[in-house]
Structure 1
Amino acid sequence: LTMVNHSTPETEFVLHCVIGPEQRTYTIALLVLIYLVSLIGNLLVILVIQMNHRLHSPMYIFISTLALIDLANSTTLIPKMVADIQFEAAVVPYGACILQMYIVYNLEQMESLLLAFMALDRYVAVVYPLRYNSIITKKNVYIVVIVLPVFAFLVHSPFVVFASELSFCRTNILPYCFCEYATMVQISCNNDPKYLTLLSMVVIVLGLCPLVLIFLSYTRIVVAALKISSSDGKSKVFSTCFTHLLVVGLFYFPLLTSYILPGAGVKLSAEAYNTMVIVGNVVPPMLNPVIYSFRNKEIKNSIFKILRGKRMAPEATE
């Protein structure tokens, strides 16, 4: 691809995924593998929870919602990235590029807030077990699930407005694997700091705050676990906390770093930026079914029943 300047700004973008020819085959194979694992894992989680009425409880509603978000995120990003890498570059209409950016930001925000609510769910279950059923009700969980996309879409609407204000008089080539707001700002001719300041503010408030809440919840869970007399019980809680925090870290830290630094005036190389955002977006959807679902006894038993062709038990009468 020849990097040429374009003088017709707001009609289309050229996505140029900065990956060397020697790494192309390996990267494509890895992305395809990640997508297939994410697709099968998250579909299986949704199917199992939907089919087993005993899993229609608050915790599993959160898990199935997370699987749905991860499925949408992987499908929005990975197939397009694979095509872009295979053909070195891809021309994307301006409107389609803005739409992809908007969808990805909304899905990231929904996952960020959902992980915080899931941490709170476990916090209440461990620290206040007798009050769990009165605090974490199905009604409250469904309200959270319904409000999440509405809130995310409203919060990220200003990015669409700001993106429409950008002028691309020098180039329309995005050195990136998919359409992304900060990269658009960096290649534009607009020097107003408001465009990246908005991004940093949203990420700090709606990214860092849920992360702090997650850490506080798991810290309190660990403190409660230390009071458990059973060594097996302690081991199980610590193992669960560690694996949950691992996948939370893989989601939050690459994305927070890549979104906050540009707004603070720190420029990252295209390779570093690509790597961080790709890791933050495509690795957690692959790991989440394993961390949150397949280690769960009820879900594992339900999967075995499906594989053996057995019917799920009917919903118990209350």
Structure 2
Amino acid sequence: MHDCVGLVLSYFCSHINDMELENDTQILGFLLLGFSEGPELQPFLFGLFLSMYLVTILGNLLIFLAVSSDSHLHMPMYFFLANLSFVDICFTSTTIPKMLVNIETQKKVIPYGSCIMQMFFFILFATLDNFLLTVMAYDRFVAICHPLHYMATMSPQLCGLLVLVSWIMSVLHSLLQTLMVLQLSFCTEVEIPHFFCELNQMIQLACSDIFLNNMVMYSAAILLAGVPLAGVLYSYSKIVSSICGISSSQGKHKAFSTCASHLLVVSLFYCTSLGVYLSSAATQSSHSSAVASVMYTMVTPMLNPFIYSLRNKDIKEALNVFFRASIKRPFFNKYLCLQA
């Protein structure tokens, strides 16, 4: 897997260099406007976004470590949750550190190659988020609607295959979109009304024909966002139907509690993403677009660990065990023992 990713990245970087050499009109960089309004607010914004970023990294890292270290959580649902936490860490790290540097230094320029790479990884991890939430919905569907066949259906081989296919499709989608952008020409130094290199904004700023780019972008949005969303809605329609068929109220509550956290995360992900693009269509204000983008690039990944840990008894117990083990035998004690 690492070799394949390395080959993709090496080809990708060489293609960027070739495009820069072939196109004499290729710009050197873009201006990320982001939150350039209100210079007096820059220190506050830096502190706010840095705190949110640290909370996001710490929260998702704790979920990942808790699931990895506790053998009781080595089940399909938590396997997918650990992958989601890892992807959320990568997702936020793709855009937020650069934004923090821009706020602190007041330098808005991002080199052309760095912008392309940022866009590639942003699309990759955003698509992965979408696929993993769909896979988790299918996992909950099997657990509630077919509980007797759950362990046989959601085998380790199938779980690994679902994650692998999600990675492959996300990489191919991101690579396609990025290569399409590499074919565009940008006549002058352009301004992106976001704090990161967003695909649609870059396409709209090109001075060459963008018809094919728009076709590919909208077709991919329908296939890679609409189809998974339809799968999620179908899974939960069956889940609700099965829960309604349970006679005891205790059984209904137990069944609902197993999917409530995931349903909340799915709602948050799709509602914030949809809100961003609706707000972008309704207003041309760069400030409004940047604020709306914060919702799904920072707020959603930050809230995911809290949603799963606060509503999940197994996760809370695993975190307690993890913290107790860390306090009793921290890393530096192990190092001292080894030195002795």
Shorter-normalised TM-score: what interval? 0.7 to 0.9
- The one-letter code of the counterpart of 2:95 is L
> Paired residue for 1:135?
153
Distance 1:205 1:77, change over 3 A: same
Q: Deviations over 1:249-279 (max 9, x none)?
A: 33223434656998xx877432333233321
2:176 aligned to 129, 135, 158, which one?
158
Unmatched runs of 5 consecutive residues or more in structure 2: 1-23, 329-340
Are the counterparts in 1 of residues 33 and 191 from structure 2 also a CA contact under 8 Å? Answer: yes
The alignment's TM-score, normalised by the length of structure 2, stands at 0.81
> Paired residue for 1:315?
none
> Paired residue for 1:16?
33
User: Is 2:130 aligned against 1:112?
Assistant: yes
> Paired residue for 2:99?
81
Compare 279-288 and 9-18 and name the one that shifted more: 9-18
C-alpha RMSD of the superposition: 2.5
> Paired residue for 2:322?
306
Distance 1:278 1:240, change over 3 A: farther
> Paired residue for 2:304?
288
Query: What is the rounded CA distance, in whole Å, between the counterparts of 1:197 and 1:278 in structure 2?
Result: 26
Identity %: 35
Distance 1:307 1:261, change over 3 A: closer
Distance 1:255 1:113, change over 3 A: same
User: Is 2:95 aligned against 1:90?
Assistant: no
Are the counterparts in 2 of residues 251 and 281 from structure 1 also a CA contact under 8 Å? Answer: no
Aligned 1:1-318 pairs, distance under 5 A: 9-21=26-38, 23-238=41-256, 241=259, 243-256=261-274, 258=276, 268-309=284-325
Partner of 1:75: helix, strand, or coil? helix
Distance 1:214 1:31, change over 3 A: same
Cα deviation for residue 293 of structure 1 reads 4.0
- The one-letter code of the counterpart of 2:71 is H
Distance 1:269 1:238, change over 3 A: farther
Q: Which has the higher helix share?
A: 2
Number of paired residues?
303
Partner of 1:104: helix, strand, or coil? helix
The alignment's TM-score, normalised by the length of structure 1, stands at 0.86
Distance 1:290 1:266, change over 3 A: closer
Compare 277-286 and 60-69 and name the one that shifted more: 277-286
Query: What is the rounded CA distance, in whole Å, between the counterparts of 2:49 and 2:218 in structure 1?
Result: 28
Query: What is the rounded CA distance, in whole Å, between the counterparts of 1:8 and 1:176 in structure 2?
Result: 23
- The one-letter code of the counterpart of 2:84 is L
- The one-letter code of the counterpart of 2:137 is A
Unmatched runs of 5 consecutive residues or more in structure 1: 1-6, 312-318
